[in-house]
Amino acid sequence: MDIRGELLIGGEAFVGSGPGFQGIEAASGHPIEPTFPAATAQDLDRACGLAAEAFTAFRDTAPEARARFLESIAQNILDIGDALIVRCMAESGLPRPRLEGERGRTVGQLRMFAGVLRDGGFLQARIDPALPERKPLPRPDLRLRMIGVGPVAVFGASNFPLAFSVAGGDTAAALAAGCPVVAKAHPAHPGTSELVGRAVQKAVADCGLPAGTFALLFDGGRDIGQGLVADPRIMAVGFTGSRAGGIALMKIAAARPHPIPVYAEMSSINPVVLLPGALAARGEAIGREFVASVALGAGQFCTNPGLLLAIEGPALDGFVASAKAAMAETAAATMLTPGIAKAYEAGVSVLEDHAAVETLARGRAGEGLQGQAGLFSTHADAFLTHPELGDEVFGAAGLLVRCRDAAQLQAVLESLEGQLTAALHMVEADHPTVRTLLPVLETKVGRILVNGFGTGVEVADAMVHGGPFPATSDGRTTSVGSLAIDRFLRPVSYQGLPDALLPDALKDANPLKLWRRVDGAVKAP
Amino acid sequence: MDIRGELLIGGEAFVGSGPGFQGIEAASGHPIEPTFPAATAQDLDRACGLAAEAFTAFRDTAPEARARFLESIAQNILDIGDALIVRCMAESGLPRPRLEGERGRTVGQLRMFAGVLRDGGFLQARIDPALPERKPLPRPDLRLRMIGVGPVAVFGASNFPLAFSVAGGDTAAALAAGCPVVAKAHPAHPGTSELVGRAVQKAVADCGLPAGTFALLFDGGRDIGQGLVADPRIMAVGFTGSRAGGIALMKIAAARPHPIPVYAEMSSINPVVLLPGALAARGEAIGREFVASVALGAGQFCTNPGLLLAIEGPALDGFVASAKAAMAETAAATMLTPGIAKAYEAGVSVLEDHAAVETLARGRAGEGLQGQAGLFSTHADAFLTHPELGDEVFGAAGLLVRCRDAAQLQAVLESLEGQLTAALHMVEADHPTVRTLLPVLETKVGRILVNGFGTGVEVADAMVHGGPFPATSDGRTTSVGSLAIDRFLRPVSYQGLPDALLPDALKDANPLKLWRRVDGAVKAP
C-alpha cells in the first residue's frame, strides 16, 4: 500500500483541499513526504453523512459478519508488512520491537472483539415472558437487547500510533458494536494512519459493507476534529490524549443541541505505593523494576508510574539507592513529537526548580529531541500543599513522596484526582495496611495492581483501562478489554413484538445461541 | 408519622431556616399545612458531606444487607398506612386507586432491587486467571467487579409522587448500587415526600447504616437543587421532569470541574403508528383504547401517547369516529399542579389556534384546575414543516398526523426527536411495513410496543424506560427495571490481588454464589 496523503471517505481515496501538513521524523525533527492536505468542512460533512447512511445496514449485520470484518481488518494490517513498521518508527521514534508488539496488540484487539461478537454476551439479551394470568394486570412479553448508538468519532492517540489509533481499541469496539467510525488521524503519524486506514477501507469493501462504515480524515489543525464532535450525526466520541484536548471535546459535546458522550482517556500519574514490608523484603529490586517501568517507551504511557508513595524509614533507603543507580544508567530516548519532548522538559523543570523537591537522579543526557529520565523526591507535607506537584509529567519522570506514617500516606492518596491505575508493592505483612488503603484506591482508580506496574495493559475481559475524572471523562467505562464495547451500545426493549419480527438475539429459538436472562434467571443457549 | 415540614439530614429531622413554602391542594389550589422552610447552603453542605462519609461503609455492605435495607424501606412505606395516600391525593390530585397502585409499584421496585442484589448479576464479576506460561509475556490474574459511583442526587418527579420520587426508582437503584442518596423533594408534594423520607430514614437507622446514607432536602426554589448538582461530592444525578429542567441540570453537571453524569428523563410524545391492517380490522376499538390511554391520569405520564400516525384512507375513518366519540365523553381531570394545568392549556391552545390543525374533539369541560382532554388532527405535510407541532403537550392531548402513504409515515418518524416509546398497532398483514419501520424506531426510542400504549411501564429485567435525547439525557440507560442500577456503577479491576484481599464477588470460593465470566466463559456458581 502506498502513502499518498489521501483522505479515505466513502470507499474512495483522494487528496484533500485543506491546508497541508507533513509527518515529522521524531528522531530528527525533519518533515517526511508526502504532504497531507487537510479535509474540508465539505469532506467532513460527506464522511458523517455516509456514516449515518451506513449505520442502518451496518448495525443490522449479523454478529458473525462483523466478526469476520474485524478479522479482515486485522489480516489487512498484517499484510501491509514491514512498510507499516518502518513508517511508524520514523513518525513516532518508537523502536521496532515495541511497534511490532503494538501491531500484535492491535491485531489481537480486533480479533478479541470478533470473539466478543461470536460470544454475544454484549447483546445483554433479556426476556421476560408474558404472564397473561398475573393479577391485577397481566405482564406483556418484554425483551431487551443492546444496539449500536450510531456513528462514532475516533481520535488517534500520539503515543500508540497503532493500538489506540485508526484501527485501535476505540475503532474496534465501535465497529463491533455496529457503529460506523469516522476517524481523525493524529497529525504526528499521518503516514501510519493512512496505511492502517487503507487496511480498514479494504476490509469494508471486501466484506461488502456500506462504504460509509469507515472514513479517515486528516487535519494538522483543530477544525476538523472539533467539527467532527459537533456534527449532529456523530453519536459518541473516543479519544486518547491530553487533558486539555479531552476537556475541549467534552465541552463541544455537552454544548450540542443533542449532547453526546465523550470517552476521553486523559491524564494519570498512577500512584505506586511501596508498603514497608515489601521495601524491607526487596526494596532494591523494586527500585530497579520501577526505573525500568518509568523509562519504558520514554515514559510515554498513560499508565506510566509517575508517583511513588512510601513511609520514611530505613527500609526506603535501599529502594532509593537502587532506583538512583538504575536511573543514572538509564539512556535518554527519542520522544514521540517535538511538542511532547518540549512539554516533558517543561514538566521536569517544574520539579527540578521546586523548592520542596530534591532531584535524586537523572538519566543519561540525550541528544536533540530525546527525553532525559529523572527521579525526584518530596515530602508529603509539601505534596499536600503544592497541587502542581500532582500534575502529570508525560515522560520518564517519577516523583517519590515520603510520608510520615501510614495515615499520611492515606491522606496523600485521598488528595489525588482520579487515576487509571494504582500499584501496591506489598508482602503478606502489609495486608492490614492494604486493607485500609483499598477502599480509597477503589474510588480513585480503575485498576489496582499488586507487585507490578501499570504499564502493560492486558486486553482481557476483566481489564479496566479507565478511572474517575480526570483520568478519563467517564469513569463508568473502560477503553481496553471486552467491556469497552459497552461504551457504544444502548438498550432497546420490545414489548409484544411477534417472534417473526424480533431480532435474532431475542427470538424464541435463540438462533445466535446466546446466554440470556430469561424470567430473571441466567439461561444457557 | 407526622408531617412537620422538617429536613432529614444525618439521622436527624429539623426545620430548615430557608424561605418556606407549602404544599398546594391540587383540586382547589389552596395551600396545605405545614410550611416547609427550605434547606440552606449549610444544610446542603452537611447532607453532601455526610453522604460522602457514609459512602465508604455503605458501599462495603454485603448485597444481602442492602437487600434487607431496601425491603425495610418498602415495609416502612406500607406502615405509614392511609395517611400517605390521603396526603398524596391532596397534593397531587391523583385518585386513590392510582396512588394505591403507585405505592404498590414503589414497594415493588424496592423489592425488585433487593432481588437484583441477591442475584448479584449487577456486579458483572469477571475473572481472567493468570497464565504464567503464556508467551511472549505471562498474563497476570485479573478480576473485575462493579462498585457504586458515589453519592447520588435524586430529584422527585411531579407526576409520580411515590414511584419516581423520594423512594422511587432512582433512589432504589442508587441505594442498591451502594450509593448514598441526597433527595430533593418536588415542591408539589412536600408532605408526601416527608412521610416517605422518614420511612427511608427509619430504615437507615434500623439497619444500622451510616446516617449519611440518606438525606431529604426541601426548597420551593431552585438554589438547593442547583447547588446539589454542583456539589463536588455528588457523583451522579437522577431526575424526572421537564426538558428545560433536565437540560439546566445537565449544563450545571457538565460545567463542574469534575463533570458527572445526569440521568434526566425529560420529554416524549410517544408516537403511535396505526398500521392499515390494524385499522381495517379493529380501528374503532383502537380509537376507544387510545382515548382511554391518552386521558389516563389526566395524561400526565411520560409515556402518554401524544402523537398518532396513520395513512389516510377509509380504514382511518372508523378509528377517528370512535376516538372522537370517546373523547367527547372523557371527563376533565384535576392536574398535578396549577402550573402544569396552565402549561397544558397553553399547549392545547397552540394546537387549537394552529392554522394547520383541526380540533377533532374535546373532552368534557372541567372546573378550576382540571384539564380538558383533546384530540387534534393535522397532515404530515404540515407536521414536517411546523416543528412546534412535535412539542410535548403534557396532559391528555393527542395529535393525529395523517400521512399520504407509508413512505411519508416513515419520513415523519425519521423527523422525530428521541422518544421513550413507540407503539405499533398492527396485524400480520402489516408485517412488511413494520419491518421497514423497525430500524427507524430502534434509533428513535427506548421501547417498541405492539398493540398497546406506552403507559403502564412494567418493572422488569427487559424494560427500557429511556431513549435518545431529548427523551432522556442519556439514551444508554433506563430509569425503570433492573438494568437501571447500571447508571450508578463503575468497573474496578484487580490485578494480582491476593485472594484474602479480594472483594467477596471475586474470591476463588465465590461466597456470593455469583454467575461469573471466567476465562471468557459464563460459569454457574
Q: What is the pLDDT of residues B95-126, one digit of tens each?
A: 999 999 999 999 999 999 999 999 999 999 99
B contacts of A473 (beta carbons < 8 Å): 259
Is there a contact between A464 and B491 if contact means CB atoms under 8 Å apart?
yes
Distances, alpha carbon B374 to alpha carbons B271, B330, B362, B406, in Å = 16, 9, 4, 26
Is there a contact between B476 and A489 if contact means CB atoms under 8 Å apart?
yes
Closest CA to A63 of A142, A148, A168: A148
A contacts of B494 (beta carbons < 8 Å): 447-449
For B460-469, letters b (16+ CB in 10 Å) and e give bbbbbbbbbb
> Could you tell me the three cell numbers for A94?
518508537
Say what the pLDDT of residue B136 is. Answer: 86
Phi first, then psi: what are they for A129, rounded to 5°? Answer: -60, 155
B contacts of A477 (beta carbons < 8 Å): 490-491
B contacts of A293 (beta carbons < 8 Å): none
CA distance B253 to chain A (A): 10
Is there a contact between B460 and A517 if contact means CB atoms under 8 Å apart?
no
Q: What is the pLDDT of residues B58-83, one digit of tens each?
A: 999 999 999 999 999 999 999 999 99
Is there a contact between B450 and A496 if contact means CB atoms under 8 Å apart?
yes
Residue B54 and residue B45: Cα distance in Å, rounded?
Answer: 14
Q: What is the pLDDT of residues A431-489, one digit of tens each?
A: 999 999 999 999 999 999 999 999 889 999 999 999 999 999 999 999 999 999 999 99
Phi first, then psi: what are they for A192, rounded to 5°? Answer: -55, -45
CA A441 vs. chain centroid, Å, equals 20
Of A431, A448, A495, which is closest to B450 when you measure between CB atoms?
A: A495
Residue B53 clears pLDDT 90, i.e. is over it:
yes
Cell 493500538 found at = A163
CB-count burial class (<10 Å; 0-12, 13-18, 19+) for B350: middle
pTM across the whole model:
0.97
**Residue stretches of chain A with pLDDT short of 50:** none
Is there a contact between B493 and A469 if contact means CB atoms under 8 Å apart?
no
Q: What is the mean pLDDT of residues B381-408?
A: 96
Phi first, then psi: what are they for A328, rounded to 5°? Answer: -65, -25
Residue B377 and residue B354: Cα distance in Å, rounded?
Answer: 10
> Which of B112, B126, B461, B523 would you mutate first to test chain A, the one with the most A CBs within 10 A?
B461
Q: Are B332 and B372 in contact (CB under 8 A)?
A: yes
Instruction: Please name the helix (run of DSSP H) or strand (run of DSSP E) that holds residue A492, with its range, or none.
Output: strand A489-495
- B433, closest residue in chain A (CA to CA): A501
B contacts of A489 (beta carbons < 8 Å): 476
Q: Are B377 and B403 in contact (CB under 8 A)?
A: no
Residue type, A286: I
Of A142, A469, A470, which is closest to B460 when you measure between CB atoms?
A: A142
Residue B518 clears pLDDT 70, i.e. is over it:
yes
Is there a contact between B494 and A251 if contact means CB atoms under 8 Å apart?
no
H, E, C per residue of A233-297? CCCEEEEECCHHHHHHHHHHHHHCCCCCCEEEECCCCCEEEECHHHHHHHHHHHHHHHHHHHHHH
Residue B242 and residue A82: Cα distance in Å, rounded?
Answer: 58
B contacts of A457 (beta carbons < 8 Å): none
Say what the pLDDT of residue A519 is. Answer: 97
Is there a contact between B435 and A56 if contact means CB atoms under 8 Å apart?
no
Q: What is the pLDDT of residues B302-312, one digit of tens each?
A: 999 999 999 99
Distances, alpha carbon B160 to alpha carbons B104, B106, B172, B239, in Å = 12, 10, 15, 12
Annotated active-site residue A329? The verdict is no
CA B93 vs. chain centroid, Å, equals 20
Say what the pLDDT of residue A1 is. Answer: 67
- B127, closest residue in chain A (CA to CA): A462
Residue A388 and residue A347: Cα distance in Å, rounded?
Answer: 10
Say what the pLDDT of residue A310 is. Answer: 98
Is there a contact between B492 and A460 if contact means CB atoms under 8 Å apart?
no
A contacts of B451 (beta carbons < 8 Å): 496
> Which of B56, B143, B476 would you mutate first to test chain A, the one with the most A CBs within 10 A?
B476
Q: What is the largest CA-CA distance in chain A?
A: 80
Residues in chain A, overall count: 525
Q: What is the mean pLDDT of residues B319-331?
A: 97
> Which of A111, A476, A499 would you mutate first to test chain B, the one with the most B CBs within 10 A?
A476
Is there a contact between A475 and B254 if contact means CB atoms under 8 Å apart?
no
- B484, closest residue in chain A (CA to CA): A491
Phi-psi region for residue A356, left (φ > 0), alpha (ψ -120 to 50) or beta?
A: alpha
Angle at A321 between CA A319 and CA A327, to 5 degrees: 95
Q: What is the largest CA-CA distance in chain B?
A: 80
Distances, alpha carbon B324 to alpha carbons A16, A271, B320, B452, in Å = 59, 69, 6, 19
- B101, closest residue in chain A (CA to CA): A136
Instruction: Read off the pLDDT band of B456 (50, 70, 90).
Output: confident
**Strand-pair partners of A448:** A422, B494
Residue B356 clears pLDDT 90, i.e. is over it:
yes
> Could you tell me the three cell numbers for A12?
474512495
B contacts of A430 (beta carbons < 8 Å): none
| From A194, A265, A392, A417, active-site residue | A265
Q: What is the mean pLDDT of residues B164-188?
A: 98
Is there a contact between B489 and A478 if contact means CB atoms under 8 Å apart?
no
CA distance A496 to chain B (A): 5
**Strand-pair partners of B333:** B371
- List active site positions of B: 265, 302
Q: Are B389 and B383 in contact (CB under 8 A)?
A: yes
* ipTM for the whole complex: 0.97
